[in-house]
Structure 1
Amino acid sequence: MSVSKQNRRQTLPFAYQINRFISKYPDLKYNGSGIYCLMCRRRLVGWNAINCRQHVLSARHKQSRKMHMPYWTFVYDFIFMLSVCDIPQNMLDNSHFRAFWQKYVPNWALPTRKQVCTEFPHVKEVVENQIRCELRDKKLWVTVEIVDVKKDKVGNVLVRILEENYSSKPFLIASQRLKQLDADTIHYVVIGALMKFSVHPKNVLMFVTDESEHMLAAGAKLKSTCPNLLHIICILHVLHHITESIRTSYPDIDKLIISMKRIFVKSAKLTQQFQKICPKIPEPPQPLLASWEAWLKAAFYYNGYFDVVKAAMIQFTPKQSRYIKGCQQLFKDPRVEADLKMIHENYGFLVDAIEILQEASLSLTESMDMAENVYSTLSHLENVPGMVAAEKFSDILWGNPDYEKLRAINECLKEDRLNSDLQRYYSHANITCMDVERSLASYNAIFTSTKTCLSESAAEGVLMMQLYAKHNKRAFTWKK
């Protein structure tokens, strides 16, 4: 052997050398501290190719492989099921659960919690490989959602495959705690996730986010890496700001909605009393004010049942709740009834638009036509709140970094004259990320009191599997 070749071999990383000679043995895996046999569930004593070959050819390994191959598949499916069904791993330590399993499923030994923790990274790796195959050479839509978890900010990177005839469901490709919430950190997380899944920057066509400064700056940075990228502000975030603008323009109505919610939200007795007085109408709404259209729907409720609810509230006594007296005074104020009627007459179309735009299956043309119809309707309102809302909508909509470019592409799609091959991928491109936020709504449930020990990687794997299961309904076929 030449001196140069010998020196080159000596400079190779130790892990690389090990992975090189065990690559021909799929049952063996290097875990950083030793060579591990997946079939025998044990670590090998030796570190060289001879030891590996001897172990694989041994009678013990052949017997283990024959006995444990179905069980290995069962364990991976079991771990995947735990993640998708959001079942905590400490269930495996419950003696009653293990006794039930041993009684009714005696042919399959229930994995231990330690075994599940050991094999979980392998299951996550298989899911990542399947997602990587699905994303290969596809044109992609990307979004980043920021979630508050345990006083930390977690950045979730999700992608959709841009198809010509339909809108696909999202894949989670990264979920990381952010050291600080700024453009550089978001850019680093997105680029790292795309590289991990072997996505070419030219294949990233859309970046849909909210209108925060760090997202706008991150979009500008991504454009330097992804030459075909269009950055669009989610239209539902724009409409949320419009409803907030309307809400602040009617402080008495806002006070009425909040006070009525506080009366009934924690008092089953008052709710039952209201149902006896008004048996033919629904209970007063208890809206989540962070929801897109909840405040408007509550205002429509009180407009539709104003006289009935007013008569019911008069029968309540202030001793029952400290908010009752204020509500009674508001119901007696003629301006409140007039404002409720004005909100219903002028802004009913907003609720319809929000509900339609929440459907991820809309085409680009349908979504953009709906957005511009909202702007046109708002601009024709002559009351002060309507004019303020229209101005705010215009500032955010036309302040979209690439809205004009997307609008030009939409016109080309309408007229069936495409200026480039890439434009056809925008036919069902989503300009909202509402369904993504819904898919992440259960993220905080991952960090319950029974799952406090989940690492960042494990939490990412659980959420990745949950979203992938929604995308892919067929049974898993695990490949080593």
Structure 2
Amino acid sequence: MHALNSPLKYIALHIATALHRSKASNENAPTSSNTSSSFSDNSNDEFKMDLCTALIAANIPWNVLSNGTFNNFLKKYTGQQIPDESTLKKNYLDKTYQQSIQKIRESIKDENVWISVDETTDKQGRYVANLIIRTLSEKESSSSFLLSCKQLEEVNNATVSRFVNDSIRILWPHGNELKVLLLLTDTAAYMIKAGKNLKVFYPNLIHITCLAHGLNLIAEKVRTSFHVANSFISCVKKIFIKAPLRVRRYKQILNKELPPEPIITRWGTWLKAASFYADNMEGIKEVLETLNPEDAESIKLARELIENPQLHQEFICIYKIPLRESCRNNNSIGSEGATIRNVNGLIQGS
């Protein structure tokens, strides 16, 4: 028994000495280098987070970080270790996303909201759905947020309905169905059906279709109804493409900018162009008479069309269409910050 207790006795005596206590204290105390390293790591982590957010906000591809000149520039003026693209994707992208969603939640809070959902295709032909959300207010405007953007395998009322439900769950994970009061979409048949489906989940939901989109559909109907005017506008547009001498002659005679170019994907641009031609028909005819019809087929056809009495009749009809003013208001109707009261005034004014 004495032999077993002896080593323990000497260990206890050693622990009680001043030398042991001093060394133990030094080992437990944090060194200045460890503290400095910890501070440096925290600082660099914050820098990487901010860098990730800034690149996304500025729509700058992350592969610029692999560019030696750009990488050295950042190192020189920030004094930070620059992460590579894979590090940002793995460690910071999701954090940035969660921060953005939290900011949206803090802005929306528990207010009544309206949502707008639309589908488009990217350059690779993939279907992409987007959902915008905004608080409902008659008197003051609020910020709208892109809450969700998702690729859809196919586009129909079921996939759109599912997309809307999933997006709302991002904002309110535990549900807040009574606060979704308004759904805004285009007039596509599957969107109309999706609106009916969603009313089952959101009892207070009212589905309306986009007024600006409706006006554009009417403008498109006008364009397809006036065949001669449409052909003439198309011909004159071709005449001045990559033809600086013709453009110079046009400006010498009319002393005006070239006629507005109708772009099918830009709402109301055809009516705007048609209005210009209706106002300046005599001047455009004078320009065409100075051009050689043998130089281009478009010149020959435009000169033939301008002598057609039906062309003048169609432009007179277009000029009298009240929709021209409505299409000019199209941008105001869909602009950021337009209140319900202001939009109503624009509609009545048209």
TM class by smaller structure:
0.7 to 0.9
- Cα distance in 2 between the residues matched to 1:213 and 1:61: 65
State whether residues 235 and 371 of structure 1, in contact with CA within 8 Å, keep that contact through their aligned partners in structure 2: no
Tell me the TM-score normalised to structure 2 length: 0.82
- Cα distance in 2 between the residues matched to 1:120 and 1:331: 59
Question: What are the superposed Cα offsets for residues 112-165 of structure 1, whole Å, 9 maximum, x if unpaired?
Answer: 222222222221121122222222312111111111011111111111111353
Structure-2 residue corresponding to 1:91: 64
Shift of 1:61: 7.3
Question: What are the superposed Cα offsets for residues 236-271 of structure 1, whole Å, 9 maximum, x if unpaired?
Answer: 111111111111221111111122222223444533
State whether residues 253 and 283 of structure 2, in contact with CA within 8 Å, keep that contact through their aligned partners in structure 1: no
Q: 1:206 to 1:83 in 2, by over 3 A?
A: same
Structure-1 residue corresponding to 2:210: 234
Specify the code of the residue in structure 1 equivalent to 2:221. Answer: S
Structure scoring higher RCO (CA < 8 A, sep ≥ 6) equals 1
State whether residues 157 and 172 of structure 1, in contact with CA within 8 Å, keep that contact through their aligned partners in structure 2: yes
Residue 183 of structure 2 aligns to a residue whose secondary structure is strand
**Correspondence 1:314 to 2:286:** no
Structure-2 residue corresponding to 1:342: 317
Shift of 1:372: 5.7
State whether residues 108 and 135 of structure 2, in contact with CA within 8 Å, keep that contact through their aligned partners in structure 1: yes
Question: What are the superposed Cα offsets for residues 184-223 of structure 1, whole Å, 9 maximum, x if unpaired?
Answer: 1111111011112215111100000011111111111110
- Cα distance in 2 between the residues matched to 1:81 and 1:269: 46
Shift of 1:355: 4.0
Q: 1:319 to 1:122 in 2, by over 3 A?
A: farther
Specify the code of the residue in structure 2 equivalent to 1:258. Answer: S
**Correspondence 1:116 to 2:66:** no
Q: 1:67 to 1:102 in 2, by over 3 A?
A: closer
Tell me the TM-score normalised to structure 1 length: 0.61
Residue 224 of structure 1 aligns to a residue whose secondary structure is coil
Shift of 1:109: 3.1
- Cα distance in 1 between the residues matched to 2:131 and 2:97: 16
Specify the code of the residue in structure 1 equivalent to 2:185. Answer: T
Structure 2: which 5+ residue stretches go unaligned? 1-29
- Cα distance in 1 between the residues matched to 2:56 and 2:102: 17
Identity %: 24
Shift of 1:97: 1.8
**Correspondence 1:289 to 2:252:** no
| Matched ranges for 1:289-438 at <5 A | 289-347=264-322, 348-368=324-344, 370-371=346-347
Structure 1: which 5+ residue stretches go unaligned? 1-56, 375-480
State whether residues 292 and 299 of structure 2, in contact with CA within 8 Å, keep that contact through their aligned partners in structure 1: yes
State whether residues 142 and 204 of structure 1, in contact with CA within 8 Å, keep that contact through their aligned partners in structure 2: yes
- Cα distance in 2 between the residues matched to 1:100 and 1:319: 58
**Correspondence 1:186 to 2:147:** no
Structure-1 residue corresponding to 2:201: 225
Residue 305 of structure 2 aligns to a residue whose secondary structure is helix
Structure-1 residue corresponding to 2:17: none
Residue 45 of structure 2 aligns to a residue whose secondary structure is helix
Structure-2 residue corresponding to 1:246: 222
Structure-2 residue corresponding to 1:52: none
CA RMSD between the two structures: 2.4
- Cα distance in 2 between the residues matched to 1:61 and 1:172: 43
**Correspondence 1:137 to 2:110:** yes
User: Between Structure 1 and Structure 2, how many residues are aligned?
Assistant: 316
Shift of 1:92: 1.3
Structure of greater Rg: 2
